[in-house]
């Protein structure tokens, strides 16, 4: 298993040195793992979909170590959001995934909103964790406000783009 | 038991919790109380190993669940008095959910959850018990067909979408209102109190904003808001949570037992999966063995598990052929717990920025792979608990109304005390012997230099 701190910094570096939002960070790492990054990190289901305490901790540690910078900004309706930046050179690989492959996946995710990432990650998590059939219905039950037909359509398209569907 | 008279339960916190046969919610919930799955909660302690530190803290999840139901009824009354469009149906679902919210807890809760191979959170089991082949599901379905699914959905969704959901899951939910008082009382700690009656008296129903990020999709819904006179009570309420976590839930000795139980169960699973049942001291027919061996554990086995089953297995594992298992079992039985180096408790000045580097080195040098097993305990201690997420919806906030009656604020924007309460990282290392502990402390000194 790669060191999670290095991995998180590496992912931000490969994403052009910047990644916006804690939600996006969590779902990005989850989806890269689903694509074969093989981080060895644990995920648990929360109301916002699969969540890894290890990812949150690694991001905090990276900030303390100075390899990652996290700045919080007030967003719409005063909902804060965090901007992560990493000035390190992009690594040759993150976990078991070579840099070029990770970049392609990150670019694909960049075309989608954080909610769509959350829905895609939730769909994938439920599919492989007890809900192989009727997964969409299960996502809709759990996320009635977020899982609109349009967003679900785009979440599935993202999974297709990533080769996960 | 006949269901035609008022059923009264004595409770150390509320005095009396009564179920009226004339009230459809009470009547249904009383039938739920008498199911075998709910009665199982008598055999699961609310605070797991906390009695190793606080001998009085032996209360059950059943007592807590009844308290949550009692609080939920009170919160629902608030909604009814304040709302022009009160929904009896939503109130029924909410009351059932409050009563049943812990029915999926396993023995020793989180320590057990973390060790079992098919990691499922207790909320998942709660939903399975509510809609599975159980007495609870039969009682709910006999009331009406959709009820079990509606109650289960509330646990799976885990996302409050209106004021009824917030009775079960929010900063100010029936669960927290009970456990903060009950756990403090049973543990016998002096700090961590708050003015419960004043808090309820200050409680109002107002319009709050629910938001979904990105699409800037915000909507106004009913939610609980505290009147301005409730500000100090709300501060105490949040402080109470902080103190309970610091002194009880995350107590280093309790957590030592928890990490040891997790290590014991992890070792047990490994032996069982390798076909070494003989060296565990357990039998093939043990429900714990059956449950832990399976990739897809059965609900019927899960429902059989309780603290007594696990303690009985631990007693037999003390005589196990496997040295590690035997030693951990003995340690738990005799309260001979691992030694602790509480790195997170050091002052900021002592810690500097060394903690992440220390954690990394501990992981590299002291692990099962390097043959020097050290157990770690990680958590976040926060008064105004937030997940590491951007979103903080109205139901994750404590809202204080403005004196002019126009809107409300997040308590963090009104209270310098709450604003100042930054989360603290808990990081501890545990090991069995003094030599190893010496090495761990020495490593810390090296990192600090």
Q: Taking CB atoms and an 8 Å limit, are B213 and A115 in contact across chains? A: yes
Q: Taking CB atoms and an 8 Å limit, are B215 and A44 in contact across chains? A: no
C-alpha span between A26 and A52 (Å, rounded): 7
A146 touches chain B (CB under 8 A): yes
One fold for both B7-188 and B252-381+424-448?
no
B-chain CB neighbours of A5 within 8 Å are 356, 360
| Paired tokens of B234 | 């709300």
Q: Taking CB atoms and an 8 Å limit, are B378 and A57 in contact across chains? A: yes
**Partners of B17 in beta bridges:** B9
- Any idea what the Cα angle at residue A106 is, between residues A101 and A108, rounded to 5°? 100
Percent pLDDT > 70 in chain B is 94
Residue B387: CB atoms within 10 Å = 19
Residue B208: CB atoms within 10 Å = 22
Percent pLDDT > 90 in chain B is 71
Residue-averaged pLDDT of chain B:
90
Nearest to A113 among B214, B388, B389 (CB): B214
What's the longest Cα–Cα distance across chain B? 73
The average pLDDT across A136-156 equals: 90
Distance separating the N- and C-terminal Cα atoms of chain A: 26
pLDDT of res. A5: 92
Contact (Cβ atoms closer than 8 angstroms) between residue B121 and residue A45: yes
| Paired tokens of B269 | 């699973």
A46 touches chain B (CB under 8 A): yes
ipTM surpasses cut 0.85:
no
Nearest to A65 among B158, B161, B353 (CB): B353
pLDDT of res. B4: 80
CA of B380, closest CA in chain A: separation in Å? 10
Q: Which A residues 52-91 touch B at CB under 8 Å?
A: 53, 56-57, 59-62, 64-66, 75-77, 79-82
pLDDT of res. B390: 55
Q: Taking CB atoms and an 8 Å limit, are A22 and B389 in contact across chains? A: yes
Residues present in chain B in total: 449
Per-position DSSP letters for B91-148, written without gaps between them: HHHHHHHHHHTTTT--TTHHHHHHHSSS---HHHHHHHHHHSSSHHHHHHHHH-TTHH
Per-position DSSP letters for A128-163, written without gaps between them: HTT--SSHHHHHHHH-TTT--HHHHHHHHHHHHHTT
pLDDT tens digit string along B191-233? 999 999 999 999 999 988 876 555 556 678 899 999 999 999 9
pLDDT of res. B216: 55
pLDDT tens digit string along B26-65? 999 999 999 999 999 999 999 999 999 999 999 999 999 9
Q: Taking CB atoms and an 8 Å limit, are B389 and A23 in contact across chains? A: yes
Strand stretches in B13-99, DSSP E = 15-19
The average pLDDT across B429-448 equals: 92
Residue B77 has pLDDT above 90, yes or no: yes
Lowest mean pLDDT among A75-89, B97-111, B276-290: A75-89
Instruction: Give me the long-range contacts of A59-66 (CB less than 8 A, separation at least 24).
Output: A59/A8, A59/A22, A59/A25, A59/A84, A59/B388, A60/B388, A60/B425, A61/A5, A61/B355, A61/B356, A61/B359, A62/A5, A62/A8, A62/A9, A62/A86, A62/B356, A64/B353, A64/B355, A64/B356, A65/A5, A65/B353, A65/B356, A65/B357, A66/B353
A-chain CB neighbours of B114 within 8 Å are none
pLDDT of res. B121: 74
Q: Which residue has 């669940």 as its token pair?
A: B65
DSSP letter at A120? H
pLDDT tens digit string along B162-175? 899 999 988 889 99
The architecture CATH gives domain B252-381+424-448: Up-down Bundle (1.20)
The average pLDDT across B334-338 equals: 96
pLDDT of res. B295: 81
A-chain CB neighbours of B218 within 8 Å are 76-77
Residue B353 has pLDDT above 70, yes or no: yes
Residue B155 has pLDDT above 90, yes or no: no
Taking any CB pair shorter than 8 Å as contact, residues of chain B touching chain A are 119, 121, 124, 153, 156-159, 161, 209-216, 218, 353, 355-357, 359-360, 363, 378, 387-392, 425
Residue-averaged pLDDT of chain A:
91
The architecture CATH gives domain B7-188: Orthogonal Bundle (1.10)
Which range among A37-51, B6-20, B343-357, B365-379 has the greatest average pLDDT?
B6-20
pLDDT tens digit string along A91-123? 999 999 999 999 999 999 999 999 999 999 999
Q: Which residues lie closer than 8 Å to B408 by C-beta, 6 or more apart?
A: B206, B208, B225, B399, B400, B401, B402
Could you give the angle at which helices A53-65 and A4-14 cross, rounded to 10 degrees?
80
Q: Taking CB atoms and an 8 Å limit, are A144 and B161 in contact across chains? A: yes
Q: Taking CB atoms and an 8 Å limit, are B161 and A145 in contact across chains? A: yes
pLDDT of res. A49: 85
The average pLDDT across B402-415 equals: 89
C-alpha span between B260 and B114 (Å, rounded): 12
What backbone torsions phi and psi does residue A23 show, to the nearest 5 degrees?
-60, -45
Residue B1 has pLDDT above 50, yes or no: no
pLDDT of res. B163: 93
pLDDT of res. B255: 95
pLDDT of res. A78: 63
Residue B2 has pLDDT above 60, yes or no: no
B-chain CB neighbours of A158 within 8 Å are none
The average pLDDT across A27-54 equals: 90
Q: Taking CB atoms and an 8 Å limit, are A144 and B387 in contact across chains? A: no
C-alpha span between B400 and B199 (Å, rounded): 11
Minimum CA–CA partner of A122 in chain B: B157
Nearest to A45 among B121, B355, B390 (CB): B121
Q: Taking CB atoms and an 8 Å limit, are B213 and A114 in contact across chains? A: yes
Name the band, by pLDDT with cuts 50, 70 and 90, for residue B415. Answer: very high
pLDDT of res. B171: 87
C-alpha span between B367 and B425 (Å, rounded): 21
Residue B388 has pLDDT above 70, yes or no: no
Q: Taking CB atoms and an 8 Å limit, are B390 and A22 in contact across chains? A: yes
Q: Taking CB atoms and an 8 Å limit, are B389 and A48 in contact across chains? A: yes
Q: Which stretches within B284-365 are classed as H helix?
A: 287-293, 299-304, 307-317, 323-333, 348-351, 355-365
Mark A148-163 as b/e (b = at least 16 C-beta within 10 Å): beebbebbbbbbebbe
Residue B406: CB atoms within 10 Å = 7
B124 versus B143: the higher-pLDDT residue is B143
Name the band, by pLDDT with cuts 50, 70 and 90, for residue A144. Answer: confident
């Amino acid at each position: 298993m790669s060191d999670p701190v290095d991995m998180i910094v590496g992912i931000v570096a490969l994403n052009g040195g910047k990644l916006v939002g804690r939600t996006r960070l969590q779902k990005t790492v989850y989806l890269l793992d689903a694509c074969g990054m093989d981080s060895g990190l644990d995920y648990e289901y929360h109301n916002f979909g699969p969540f890894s305490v290890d990812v949150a901790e690694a991001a905090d540690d990276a900030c303390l170590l100075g390899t990652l910078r996290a700045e919080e900004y007030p967003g719409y309706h005063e909902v804060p959001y965090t901007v992560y930046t990493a000035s390190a050179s992009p690594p040759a690989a993150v976990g078991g995934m070579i840099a070029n492959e990770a970049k392609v996946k990150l670019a694909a995710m960049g075309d989608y909103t954080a909610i769509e990432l959350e829905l895609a990650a939730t769909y994938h998590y439920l599919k492989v964790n007890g809900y192989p059939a009727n997964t969409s219905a299960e996502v809709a039950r759990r996320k009635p406000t977020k899982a609109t037909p349009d967003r679900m359509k785009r979440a599935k398209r993202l999974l297709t783009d990533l080769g996960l569907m | 038991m006949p269901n035609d008279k008022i059923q009264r339960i004595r409770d150390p916190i509320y005095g009396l919790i009564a179920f009226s046969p004339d009230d459809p919610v009470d009547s249904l919930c009383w039938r739920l109380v008498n199911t075998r799955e709910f009665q199982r909660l008598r055999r699961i302690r609310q605070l797991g190993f906390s009695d190793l530190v606080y001998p009085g803290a032996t209360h059950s999840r059943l007592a807590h669940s009844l308290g949550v139901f009692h609080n939920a009824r009170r919160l629902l009354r608030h909604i009814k008095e304040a709302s022009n469009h009160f929904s009896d149906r939503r109130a029924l679902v909410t009351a059932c959910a409050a009563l049943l919210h812990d029915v999926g807890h396993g023995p020793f809760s989180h320590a057990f959850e973390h060790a079992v191979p098919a990691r499922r959170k207790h909320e998942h089991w709660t939903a399975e018990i509510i809609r599975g082949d159980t007495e609870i599901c039969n009682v709910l379905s006999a009331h009406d067909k959709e009820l079990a699914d509606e109650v289960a959905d509330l646990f799976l969704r885990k996302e409050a979408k209106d004021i009824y959901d917030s009775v079960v899951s929010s900063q100010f939910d029936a669960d927290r209102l009970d456990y903060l008082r009950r756990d403090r009382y049973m543990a016998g700690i002096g700090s961590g109190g708050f003015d419960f009656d004043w808090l309820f008296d200050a409680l109002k129903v107002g319009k709050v904003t629910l938001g979904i990020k990105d699409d800037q999709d915000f909507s106004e819904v009913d939610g609980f808001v505290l009147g301005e006179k409730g500000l100090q009570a709300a501060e105490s309420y949040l402080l109470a949570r902080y103190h309970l976590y610091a002194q009880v839930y995350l107590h280093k000795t309790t957590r030592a037992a928890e990490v040891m139980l997790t290590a014991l169960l992890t070792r047990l699973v490994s032996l069982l999966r390798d076909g070494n049942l003989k060296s565990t001291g357990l039998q093939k027919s043990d429900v714990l063995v059956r449950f832990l061996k399976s990739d897809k554990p059965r609900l019927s086995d899960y429902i059989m598990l309780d603290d007594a089953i696990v303690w009985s297995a631990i007693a037999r594992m003390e005589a196990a052929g496997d040295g590690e298992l035997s030693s951990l079992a003995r340690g738990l039985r005799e309260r001979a717990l691992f030694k602790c180096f509480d790195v997170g408790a050091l002052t900021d000045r002592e810690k500097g920025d060394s903690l992440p580097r220390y954690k990394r080195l501990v992981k590299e040098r002291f692990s099962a792979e390097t043959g020097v097993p050290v157990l770690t305990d990680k958590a976040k201690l926060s008064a105004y608990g937030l997940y590491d997420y951007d979103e903080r919806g109205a139901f994750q906030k404590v809202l204080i109304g403005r004196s002019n009656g126009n809107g409300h604020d997040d308590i963090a924007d009104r209270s310098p005390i709450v604003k100042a309460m930054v989360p603290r990282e808990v990081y501890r290392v545990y090991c069995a012997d003094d030599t190893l502990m010496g090495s761990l402390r020495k490593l810390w000194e090296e990192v600090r230099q």
